[in-house]
Amino acid sequence: MKSLNNDKIKEKDVIILAIESSCDETAAAVIKNGREIMSNIVSTQIEIHKKFGGVVPEVASRNHVVDINPVIENALLAAKIKLEDVDVIAATYGPGLVGALLVGLSTAKALSYATGKPFVGVNHIQGHIAANYLAFPELKPPFISLIVSGGHTHIVEVKDYNEIEIIGKTRDDAAGEAYDKVARAIGLGYPGGPLVDELAKEGSPNIEFPKAMYKEDNYDFSFSGIKSSVLNYINNKKMKGQTYSNADIAASFQHAVVDILIHKTIKAVKDRGYDCVVLSGGVSANSALRKNMEKRCKEDKLDIYYPPLGLCTDNAAMIGSCAYYRYIDGYVDDMYLNAKPNLKIGEN
């Protein structure tokens, strides 16, 4: 990694070709100045992995190899530019599935080497935060963000575009992971989160599942207990020969998870003296989380930001936005940057 003269960089428009391949979406986007989406192409593998009940890493990697070049070509075509018009090549280098990451990362480095364009590696989770910059031109750090996805549940203080501090996180399962496990327990398919969200609308939250760490004076979470409670509830009903409602289980589970996510986030915002909440990550698409967080923010006179649905799930537009702010701070990466499947938020 080396430093550049960022004063000269800021004098002109910067067009970034960004690539994302951390899990089961092959994506490429063209982003201008970190805020304008010129194109955003996503090829999803959901239908491929449904029959397995989850993402199979080797299958994901092989499909990335097949899809990566056409997706990049379509992104450039949709943006109505050529590769030589791009100023920077960017790609996710972690966290994620190592084989999947390597496809996008290797492709980006090859393009950078072949064209002589600067290369910028991006933290996928910080990319989720940056999705909000694309949706809300007025949003600037500092602020508090709740990041909720299949593998991460964090409350972070975004002090600047490239300065992020974790102030709370899950001690075990991520919220999205708990959703997937509960989905399997009640017979839903993959991906579990959206399916639980939809089924919950048909049920009533009349089952009391535990809210671990709710009363503790910190910003941390724990979701393994609620997952176990759902399984125990179902097993007890079956052992006693009693009927139960999957819709009520979904509604009650979701009510407990959303309640604690909101409680901890609002506590962090108030404790740190901020006036807004920023939602990030795939689970920020959850309808109950959005609705109830909006209600709570209105009561507490706080602003709320969350990306449109297309920018909540994995995409390359958010990677391009994040890369822009890294680039104008004067940093590029070299060809030795490797995939880091366990990359932490704020780690470079």
Query: Which domains does the chain show, CATH number per domain?
Result: 2-130+312-332 (3.30.420.40), 141-307 (3.30.420.40)
Residues 6+ apart with CB under 8 A from 56: 49
Q: Per residue in 202-260, pLDDT tens?
A: 999 999 999 989 999 999 999 999 989 999 999 999 999 999 999 999 999 999 999 99
Average pLDDT, the chain: 93
Where are the strands (E) in the chain, listed by range?
2-3, 15-20, 25-32, 36-44, 88-94, 119-123, 143-148, 153-160, 163-169, 276-280, 303-305, 331-332
Q: Helix-strand-coil percent breakdown of the chain, rounded to 5?
A: 45, 20, 35
pLDDT at site 12: 85
Q: State the pLDDT confidence band at 55, using cuts at 50, 70 and 90.
A: confident
User: Considering only CA atoms, which of 200, 202, 199, 256 is closest in space to residue 228?
Assistant: 256
pLDDT at site 150: 78
Rounded-to-integer distance, Cα 309 and Cα 312, Å: 5
pLDDT at site 195: 94
Q: Per residue in 106-132, pLDDT tens?
A: 999 999 999 999 999 999 999 999 999
pLDDT at site 107: 98
Q: Per residue in 287-316, pLDDT tens?
A: 999 999 999 999 999 999 999 999 999 999
